Amino acid sequence: MSNKLAFWKSGRFKMSPNEIGRLGEQIVERLLRKEGFRVRTFNELLYRKRACSKIEALVEVCRENCGFESKPCFRTTYGQIIWKNCHYYLSKYCQRVCRRLCRNRKILRILEEVKTQEDGSRAGLDFAAYKDKEIWVVEVKTGTHSELKKSQRQFVERLEREMGIRLLHFHVRLNDEIDYLIRARGNINR
């Protein structure tokens, strides 16, 4: 008797809408990378990577307004670690500390102004793409729907008008079922 296993399996695999959406995003991300774009997460546009130069003032304002809540910025003193763990909370107080807002804070402010309850989510997009010192926001719609939500449209319009950041909108059409054929080989006695 052979100790090698070999069999064939075929059939259909049904995907959920979330799986289809993730697959569409991966396809578009690879396409953009092939075209020479640097693709990053959408949150990279909202929050600075490096800590703000006025982080001590931001932490003080946050501590005054957060009360006794247990936030990561209360437990450490090193600026970059505080920013990494607490950028969401600290960004809320930028306008109190800085007269001139950084690009990231302006984009976050626009996002907060356009998000609505009717969409049921934030107006956020899928990712950001960079090429030749230009920035684009990318939205991928996979499946039968291809329209942006109302808050996403408003967000993109304001981004282009106020910040010069344009939209790359992709519609990927996939079936919700995948026909597959699998051939497996292996050694049973390992």
Tens digits of residue pLDDT in 127-160: 999 999 899 999 988 877 778 888 888 899 999 9
Listed in sequence order, the residues at least 6 apart from 84 whose beta carbon sits closer than 8 Å to its beta carbon are none
Q: What is the pLDDT of residue 15?
A: 77
Q: What is the pLDDT of residue 51?
A: 66
Domain assignment present for 71: yes
- Hey, what are 8's tokens? 């064939």
Q: What is the pLDDT of residue 117?
A: 54
133 and 72 in a common domain: no
Domain assignment present for 111: yes
Is residue 83 within 8 A of residue 52, CB to CB? The reply is yes
Write out the residue range of the structural domain in which residue 187 sits.
13-45+105-190
Q: What is the pLDDT of residue 17?
A: 78
Domain assignment present for 90: yes
112 and 168 in a common domain: yes
61 and 96 in a common domain: yes
Q: What are phi and psi of 4, to 5 degrees?
A: -105, 140
Q: What is the pLDDT of residue 188?
A: 47
Positions of the chain with pLDDT lower than 50, given as ranges: 1-2, 188, 190
32 and 59 in a common domain: no
166 and 110 in a common domain: yes
153 and 190 in a common domain: yes
Q: What is the pLDDT of residue 128?
A: 92
Domain assignment present for 8: no
139 and 190 in a common domain: yes
160 and 81 in a common domain: no
Q: What is the pLDDT of residue 5?
A: 53
The CATH number given to whatever domain includes residue 150 is: 3.40.1350.10
119 and 31 in a common domain: yes
Q: What is the pLDDT of residue 6?
A: 55
Domain assignment present for 5: no
If one counts the domains in the chain, the total is 2
Q: What are phi and psi of 139, to 5 degrees?
A: -125, 130
Domain assignment present for 6: no
Q: What is the pLDDT of residue 1?
A: 44
